[in-house]
Structure 1
Amino acid sequence: MTATRLGADRYSTTIDAPAGVATSVHELQTSDGAKVTGVLRVPRGATTVVTIMHPRQEVTHHPLVPYLLTMGYGVWTQGTRSPNNDLNLLHEQAIIDFAAGLVFLRDQGFDVYSLGHSGGGTLAAFYCQQASMPPHSRLTTTPAGRPVVLADTAMPLPDGCIFLAPHPGQGALLQRLIDPSVTDESDPLSVDPDLDPFNPANGFRPAPESSSYDDEFITRYRAAQEERVRRLDATARAYVSDAQQANRAFKSGGDATDRRRALAPRVLTVFRTDADLRNVDLSLDPNNRPYGSLFGRRPDLTNYGLVGFARLSTAEAWLSTWSALSTNATFLDCAPGVTVPTLLLEFTGDQASYPIDIAAMRAALGASDLSVRSVPGTHFGGPITKGAPTGTSLAAATIESWLRDHC
C-alpha cells in the first residue's frame, strides 16, 4: 500500500554509497544576507565536485549521489532559501543561493560541474545566463519589482553543465498543465464542459485507454490555458500594486494601518494544475512514456487533488516562478547564455519533457561543446517497463562517460 501512495518511491536508489566518503554540512551566507545549507560528500582524492540543486525540492538524497561518489567525484547537494515550498519561491533569489554554493566550492579548490535534473536544469541555465553577463547587465529586480543584488554577487561559472530531463521551466511547464476549464478561481469544482480535458465529448477516454483529442480542441485548449495564466497574472499584479501603494503611503505618512496593508499576505490559490493533454493522449508528442502524469496514473483524479504545482503562491512568487508570461526563468530563453561544455540528457519515457522540447533546447543552447544523449527512463529515473534497468542507472553511465571526457 505504501509504495503506491502519491509521491512514494518517486526517486529510488539502486546502489549504496562507497566507503571512505567524508561528509560535511555547511551553512552559507548569500550576497543578500540569506542563509542556505548544503551537504558536501568527498571521496578520498576527489578534486572535482558535481553540484545538484533544485529550486523547490530537497535533493540531499538524489538517487545519482551514490553513483557519482562511486565514480570518484565529490557531490554538493544544496537547497535554496525556500526548499519544498512553492509559496514564496523567487527564482532571482534562488540563483543568488546557487552562487553561494559555487563560490564556496571554488574557495575549496574544486573543479565544479553542475547537474540540473528537471526544474534544476532551468535553474542552472538561468544562473549561467546571468553569471555570463557583465555585472551591470544582470537583472536588477524580480518581475514584481523587488530589487535583487545580482550586480553585487560573485557568480562564478561552473566548468560544465549536465541537464538531465530538463523541463522547459516551472512557468512554461505549468502552462502546459493548468486546467483552462476552471471558470471560478474560488471554486475548485467549477468547469466549462467545452474546455474540460476529461469530458468524453472532447476526446477523453477512461484510464488507461489513451484519449484522442482533435486539432481544433487542442488549439482551443492551449489558447485557453494561456488565457488563464494571463488572468492570474493580472490578479497577481493587482496584489503587488496594492502592497506597493500601501508601503509608499506608510513611508510618507507613517500610518500603521498602511503598513499592515502592505504586510498582509496576498496569496493565490490555483486549483487544478495536472491537466496536460499529453499525459492522457499518448499520440501527442509521442515518446515511450507511460499513461499518467508526474503526480499519478489518473490525472482525471489528481488534477482535483491537493498536490500539484503552484497550488499556493504569493503574487511575487507567481510572477517570478509560475507564470510563463512573466518569469525570467524559462529554459529556452536562458539557454543561449549556457556556453560552458554541456551534456543534454533525455529520458525517452519522460512525462514532462518531450522530444520536441529536447530538440528546441539543443538548438537554443549556446555551448559549442554540446553532447545530446538519451536513455530509457521516466522523468524521475524510473524504468520504462517493469524489470528494466532504471533510468537513473542508465543516466549515471552516460554521465560518467561524459565527465571522464571533460574532467
Structure 2
Amino acid sequence: MSTETPERWEFGMPPQIARVKYRRTPYLVVSREKSVRKDVYGSIDDNIVRQAQLLRGERPSDTVILAMHPIGSPSYLPLFPELARTGLHVIGSANRYAVGDAALQMENVLLDIGACVRDAKERLGYEKVVLAGWSGGGSPMMGYQAESEKPTIVRTAAGEPTLLADTELPVADGVMMLAAPRSRHRLLTEFLDASVTDEVDPDRGRDSEFNLYDPANSHKPPYSPDYLAAYRSRQRARSLRITRFAQEKLEAFRAEGRPDAEHSFVVHGTMADPRWLDPTIEPNGRRPGWSYLGDPEVANTSPGALMRFTTARSWLSQWSLDTAQVDAGDAATRVTKPVLVLANGCDDAVPTSHPRAVFDAIPHGDKELVELPGANHYFSGTDQRSHLADAADIVHDWLHRHGFAES
C-alpha cells in the first residue's frame, strides 16, 4: 500500500485503463424507522427506501465503490459509469430523499450510507467498500467515515434525537473526494446573494451596493479586498438570520405542544458568488462570468439553483453555517483510512480552497491531492471527454495502488 503524499500528480498521468462493457442492476436497500413526521412524499409506513444501482462488468471484485449524493442517484453522473468502464464495481445509490433535498437532514443521510455499506458487505458479499463523494456527495461521505470511526453526533442540528447516537456504523476502507466542496453549508454561504435584505420579497429593499448583477453597482471586478470582505461578512450575516428564523419556528412549535410540526420556506438569491464574475478570486481555469449552472445571474433566481426550497430542520442540518454538523474539513481530522482528493482544474462550482482545506485537515500520511487540469465541474462540453477519462484513470490507479483494484 502506498504511503506517499504527493500534493500534485508529479509523475504524470497514469496509463490509460482499457474500457470494458458493464451492466446496471437496480435494487433497493430497505429498512424501517419509526417516525411521526413524513419528510418524503410517497413513503409507505415506516419503510426507509434507498434506490440503488450496481454497475459492474464480468470481472469479479472483492471491492466496491459506493457513491451517494444529496440529490438523486449518482449512478448516471458522468464519472461513475466511466469508472465502471474501467472494470471497477460501483454502487450508485440515492438516499431516502429521492424526490429532492428540500427536507433532507444530513444525519439521516449518514444512516442511509451506513445501510448501503452494510448491504454491500453482508448481502452483496464485498469485502471492502470505498466511499466516493462527487460534488455535494463529498461531505456526507467524509462525514460518514468520521462518524463510523469516531462518532460525535448525538442529536440532529435541530436538537432532536437521531438514530446515529445508537447506531454502530460499519467502517469503510477508503474515501475519495471527487470535485467536492468542503460542505454544502459552507458552499451555500459563499453563494448567497449579499444584497438580499427581505427574505419574503427579495426585490424589496435590495442593497444595490452588494447586488453583483446590478449595472448601477459601482463595484466591478476585480473586486477590492475591502469590498470582498464586506460582501462575505454580509453573506455570513444573512445565513445567521435564516438560521435564527428556523430555530424560532421550531421553538414556537414546541411551545405550542406541536414538536413534530415543520415549516417550509424559500431562500431567494443563492447563486451570487463573486468568484464567478472575478476570476482573480481563488483563480483556476474556470470561464469568467459563468457557473456550473450557466449564467449565474439567471441561476440566482432559478428554481433549479442550489438550495431554493427547504424546511426549518433541513436548513439547520444541511445549509446553516452555524448549526450544520457534517463538514468534510472537520470530519477529516477523525479519519484514519486512505483518502484521495481529486480537484478539477477548471471547476466552476467548487472553490479551490475547499479541497485544499480537506486535504490539509487529514492527519495521517496516506492521502493524495490530485489536480486534473482542464476539467470543469460536470465534465460538460465537447472538450471534456478526455478529462473524464483521465479522472477515471486517476481513480483506478489510486485504487490499484491501495489494493482495491486490479491493474
TM-score above 0.5, yes or no: yes
Q: 1:293 and 1:231, CA in 2 relative to 1: closer, same or farther beyond 3 A? A: same
Whether 1:226 and 2:243 are equivalent positions in the alignment is no
Identical positions, percent: 28
Q: 1:324 and 1:382, CA in 2 relative to 1: closer, same or farther beyond 3 A? A: same
Whether 1:106 and 2:103 are equivalent positions in the alignment is no
1:20 to partner: Cα distance: 6.0
Whether 1:138 and 2:152 are equivalent positions in the alignment is yes
Which of 66, 76, 79 does residue 81 from structure 2 map onto? 66
Q: 1:176 and 1:144, CA in 2 relative to 1: closer, same or farther beyond 3 A? A: same
Mapped to 2, the partners of 1:95 and 1:203 lie a distance apart of 45
Aligned residue for 1:398?
A: 394
TM-score normalised by structure 1 residue count: 0.85
Whether 1:330 and 2:340 are equivalent positions in the alignment is no
Q: 1:228 and 1:120, CA in 2 relative to 1: closer, same or farther beyond 3 A? A: same
Matches within 5 A, 1:155-170: 155-170=169-184
Aligned residues: 369
- Runs (5+) with no aligned partner, structure 1: 1-15, 206-210, 248-258
Superposed CA deviations along residues 202-222 of structure 1, whole A, max 9, x for unmatched, are 4566xxxxx321112111111
1:366 to partner: Cα distance: 3.2
Q: 1:24 and 1:389, CA in 2 relative to 1: closer, same or farther beyond 3 A? A: closer
Q: 1:18 and 1:204, CA in 2 relative to 1: closer, same or farther beyond 3 A? A: farther
1:269 to partner: Cα distance: 1.4
Aligned residue for 1:119?
A: 136
Q: 1:67 and 1:387, CA in 2 relative to 1: closer, same or farther beyond 3 A? A: closer
Superposed CA deviations along residues 70-127 of structure 1, whole A, max 9, x for unmatched, are 2222111111111251211000000000000000111132121111101111010110
Query: Cα RMSD between the aligned structures?
Result: 2.3
Mapped to 2, the partners of 1:117 and 1:20 lie a distance apart of 21
Q: 1:164 and 1:214, CA in 2 relative to 1: closer, same or farther beyond 3 A? A: same
Mapped to 1, the partners of 2:226 and 2:217 lie a distance apart of 10
Mapped to 2, the partners of 1:166 and 1:233 lie a distance apart of 24
Mapped to 1, the partners of 2:95 and 2:383 lie a distance apart of 35
Which of 18, 29, 32 does residue 31 from structure 2 map onto? 29
Does the 8 Å contact 2:22/2:84 carry over to 1? no
Which of 357, 361, 366 does residue 360 from structure 1 map onto? 357
Aligned residue for 2:251?
A: 241
Mapped to 2, the partners of 1:265 and 1:150 lie a distance apart of 21
- Runs (5+) with no aligned partner, structure 2: 1-17, 35-46
Aligned residue for 1:13?
A: none
Mapped to 1, the partners of 2:353 and 2:96 lie a distance apart of 33
Mapped to 2, the partners of 1:235 and 1:141 lie a distance apart of 20
Aligned residue for 2:62?
A: 47
Q: Secondary structure at the match of 2:161?
A: coil
Q: 1:378 and 1:275, CA in 2 relative to 1: closer, same or farther beyond 3 A? A: same
Does the 8 Å contact 2:199/2:267 carry over to 1? yes
1:151 to partner: Cα distance: 3.2
Q: Secondary structure at the match of 1:60?
A: helix
Mapped to 2, the partners of 1:338 and 1:21 lie a distance apart of 33
Q: 1:295 and 1:20, CA in 2 relative to 1: closer, same or farther beyond 3 A? A: closer
Q: Which amino acid aligns with 2:196?
A: V
Mapped to 1, the partners of 2:116 and 2:92 lie a distance apart of 9
Q: Which amino acid aligns with 1:218?
A: L
Whether 1:349 and 2:351 are equivalent positions in the alignment is no
Q: 1:140 and 1:30, CA in 2 relative to 1: closer, same or farther beyond 3 A? A: farther
Does the 8 Å contact 1:17/1:66 carry over to 2? no
Aligned residue for 1:253?
A: none
Superposed CA deviations along residues 330-366 of structure 1, whole A, max 9, x for unmatched, are 2211111222111110100112323322322211023
Mapped to 2, the partners of 1:305 and 1:66 lie a distance apart of 29
Does the 8 Å contact 1:236/1:268 carry over to 2? no
Mapped to 1, the partners of 2:370 and 2:19 lie a distance apart of 25
Mapped to 2, the partners of 1:130 and 1:267 lie a distance apart of 29
1:129 to partner: Cα distance: 1.2
Q: 1:20 and 1:88, CA in 2 relative to 1: closer, same or farther beyond 3 A? A: closer
Aligned residue for 1:183?
A: 197
Q: Secondary structure at the match of 1:34?
A: strand
Mapped to 1, the partners of 2:160 and 2:20 lie a distance apart of 45
Q: Secondary structure at the match of 1:27?
A: strand
Mapped to 2, the partners of 1:374 and 1:312 lie a distance apart of 33
